[in-house]
Chain A
Amino acid sequence: MLKDITIGQYIYGSSPIHRMDPMLKLIFVIAYVVLLFSASTTAGIVGAVAFSLIIYKISGIPIKLIAKSLKPIVPVVVFTAVINMFFIPGDPLITIWKLTISRQGLFYAVILSFRITCLISASSLLTYTTSPIQLTDAIERLLSPLKKLKMPVHELAMMMSIALRFIPSLIEETDKIMSAQKSRGASLDSGKLREKVKALVPVLVPLFVSAFRRADELALAMECRCYRGGEGRTRLHESHFSSVDAFGTAVLVLMFGYVIATNCLFEAVI
């Protein structure tokens, strides 16, 4: 049952989106979010939404998965949309008791829902097409200017990758310990809350012991291989600015141009 949990949600593939430099991808997602919120005309918003649909199409990630990643945020979207609908002043459309829905409010609510949806789907596309290790690598490179300020950037990234790497191992371990204790008659899923918490002890203690043991062994193994932090360390995968990256940058710059142009040419809706 615990095995069904998938963390990171990386989906293997070889599309141009997968091949793009992970750091660039990270920057693009941030840029795209800026773009989404700076587009203030209908044409701009429609363009931004279409853009994310096209990128999904190119990445080869099944559309079904967007729905999956959007599911948890539906309440948030609905809540913000409803609040905005009532609180943006403008030409009144409907009045219920003391609350008024204005034309602008309704419009804003719709656009906001689109913005949040696109924001979530763009960032989940990042995790769908970038492995956790690539992602931590990207974060490390992105933050590397902070090294000048004595921030232990490499160490932070290393901690993140180790944590991510051990999630599946620990899940497996938990599964095994749970089975072993169930074989000794532990009932892990019945009883009152108090009993349930007490029943966790036989699982948690061995799990902690084994996590510490693993940490110890890993530290020893790293030391045996002369690991001593990020100083002067070279990488296995050097990143090169490839044609995919160049094309991606060009597309994003064009998108920005399009949004700025629509913002100047058309009347702002919000």
Chain B
Amino acid sequence: MSAVLRAENISYTYNPGIPGSKPAVDGVSLEIGEGEFIAVIGHTGSGKSTLIQHFNGLLRPQKGRVLFDGQDIWAKGYDLRALRFGVGLVFQYPEYQLFEETVYKDIAFGPTNMSLSEQEIHRRVLDAAGFVGAGQYLDSSPFELSGGEKRRVAIAGVLAMEPRVLILDEPAAGLDPRGKKAAFELIKNYHESKGATVIVVSHSMEDVAEYAKRVIVINRGQVFCDGSVPEVFKRARELSDIGLSIPAVTSILLRLKEGCPELNASCYDITSAADAIAAVMKERGAALC
């Protein structure tokens, strides 16, 4: 697996020089491999949104380098616009960025900026709209849609650029459980069908545990831990100490573990938790009722 994005010791401080300003990103080094599905977790103000804005060149690190395909994106003569077509960033509450008269035109905004051919733009718009299930309202005004529909159209606007790396900042914020699931399913579909690298930013581990392969926990602008989902969940106690909410299942298992230390508490979904509890009970010879 080769690294598509690499951050080398980057730091960023908002309003440097003003007394009391702390770095939002403080010496972060990361390597993002081609085709990975990564969750970046941190509580509000941990610097996760600041970090991802470095990945498509919206913020320039005050220290360190960001490399895309091995090239420094802030080197002289580097085409930042081309980078942005390769690394698609979906902002938090992206529905507020809609502006065109029709959904079709809005989704086509990105591909049009890429100066693609008429047919290619058409294909991509239909493709992206199909992905998010917005096919039936391509001709309506984006402002007539409901909140969830707007969100999906806005995500389609980025998908239509077919970025190799897709970054989403809290894509499920403010959605109901069903909307949340739909959002993550469509991200997963994009990841699988295009083989794209996906980075999802969230403050809730419960939301992303099911989908991400690798979890990066950010705390106070630094990488707190980085590993596969079970690896990170083994440290669930530390995570709740830094103010992250851990899935309800995991916290129940942690409580149970106090009474029976052999329990495997690093589960995050109900099925595997049930299996873990069953395993312990079997071993102890307790009756399963």
Contacts and interface: CB of A to CB of B under 8 A. Distances in A.
A180 B97 contact: yes
B88 A183 contact: yes
Contacts of A181: 97
Interface string A196-212: 00000110011001100
A132 to B, nearest CB: 20
Contacts of A3: 14-15
Interface string A208-239: 01100000000000000000000000000000
B58 A179 contact: yes
Interface residues of B, number: 25
Contacts of A185: 81, 84-85, 109-110, 113-114, 161
A206 B161 contact: no
A187 B80 CA distance: 10
Contacts of B14: 3
Contacts of A173: 96
Interface string B141-158: 001000000000000011
Given A176-B91, A209-B143, A184 B157 contact: yes
B77 to A, nearest CB: 15
B99 interface: yes
Contact of B97 (A177, A187, A201): A177
B221 interface: no
Given A179-B91, A202-B109, A209-B143, A187 B99 contact: no
B62 to A, nearest CB: 15
A182 B80 CA distance: 10
A183 B109 contact: no
B99 A205 contact: yes
Contacts of A206: 96-99
Interface string B250-267: 000000000000000000
Interface of A: 3, 173, 176-177, 179-187, 201-202, 205-206, 209-210
6 contacts: A3-B14, A3-B15, A184-B84, A185-B114, A202-B99, A206-B99
Given A186-B109, A187-B113, 11 more contacts: A177-B97, A179-B58, A180-B96, A182-B84, A183-B56, A184-B109, A184-B157, A184-B161, A185-B161, A187-B81, A206-B97
Closest CB pairs A-B (n = 6): A185-B113, A205-B99, A180-B97, A184-B110, A183-B89, A180-B91
